[in-house]
Amino acid sequence: MQITFLGTSAGVPTRARNVSGVALRLPQRGETWLFDCGEGTQHQLQRTPIKISQITRIFITHLHGDHLFGLMGLLATCGLAGQGQEIHLYGPDGLEEYVRVCSRISRTTLSETLKIQTVEPGLVHHEEDFSVTCQPLKHRIPSFGYRVTERDRPGKFDVERAHALGIPPGPLYARLKNGERVELPDGRVVEGRELVGATLAGRSVVYCTDTIYCRGAVALSEGADALIHEATFAAEDEPLAVQSMHSTTVMAARVASEARVRQLFITHFSPRYTPDAQVTPEELLAQARAVFPRTDMARDLMTFEVPWRE
């Protein structure tokens, strides 16, 4: 699981930061899932190794433009290119109407395999290797946070020990890796679990924006390996955060601390915080780290490989 930040600015793009978009690459499947699709997302994708043809799922948090205005362009590209990949689009009530109206008025050709789902709190998507759940956040309009959870994986198979036991490579290895009891050609019985290390807990990534601090974000983020949480305002600008129903750096860090996540990435920064401003981006990071030390500041095109738990 690999996270790439495509846009980390709030409201409007800046020279250094595009508006909201995050890509979650699943290399073992050759797929990429997008979370939000602000204006310019296609341009950002062109600056990464991510292929548009590998995008299979797009999750929209809410219908504000800085999270949505790049969607139609991306869908149009998929339709014009005739790539034909099946795209699943998820988001709040009104998203399907938005897509259909834009398509009709602009006469945009969309992929015939585009499927749109209005989300409700709880399970959004489930398959063998991954599940996606969502919870409502607290913003001026309906907004949802998403959690991607990977299934647990068997531990590392001890090939050397299997070889020492005289087990021939091939189909038997696959069965032993799955923890099965296997009878060897010579009549011996081997327990697969004795040749496999401890189970690897599935990794999880949570994406929360836009929202002021809320218990829903804490519950959704519980024990996550990586939490991506908006931090639009500095701590001293909390009145602005409350008025606009956005988070401060301290609010984001508080969610991470209470949810006991492994790593926090703050994002969605107001353009007011520049290197020469009264409050700089470095100070935003310091504010969050004072509450939750394992915090990093997201930057456009930054990539993070979500590690397995030891």
Instruction: Tell me if the pTM is above 0.85.
Output: yes
Given this model, what pLDDT does residue 51 score? Answer: 92
Paired with 233 in beta bridges are 248
Given this model, what pLDDT does residue 83 score? Answer: 54
Residues 6+ apart with CB under 8 A from 137: 61, 143, 144, 145, 208, 209, 210, 211, 214, 216, 217
Helices 95-106 and 71-81 pack at an angle, to 10 degrees, of 60
Task: Quickly name the fold that domain 2-153+200-305 has.
Answer: Metallo-beta-lactamase; Chain A (3.60.15)
> Is residue 57 left, alpha or beta, with left meaning phi > 0 and alpha meaning psi from -120 to 50?
beta
Given this model, what pLDDT does residue 157 score? Answer: 81
Given this model, what pLDDT does residue 164 score? Answer: 85
Q: What are the catalytic residues?
A: 66
Q: Rounded to an integer, what distance in angstroms lies between the CA atom of residue 118 and that of residue 121? A: 10
Residue among 304, 14, 120 at smallest CA distance from 38? 14
Residue showing tokens 């009104």: 94
Given this model, what pLDDT does residue 242 score? Answer: 98
Given this model, what pLDDT does residue 191 score? Answer: 85
Q: What is the mean pLDDT of each run of 10 residues along the chain (310 residues)?
A: 97 96 92 97 96 94 98 88 77 97 92 92 95 98 98 82 82 81 86 81 95 98 98 98 98 98 98 94 98 98 90
Q: Rounded to an integer, what distance in angstroms lies between the CA atom of residue 261 and that of residue 206? A: 10
Given this model, what pLDDT does residue 287 score? Answer: 98
Q: Where are the domains of the chain?
A: 2-153+200-305, 159-195
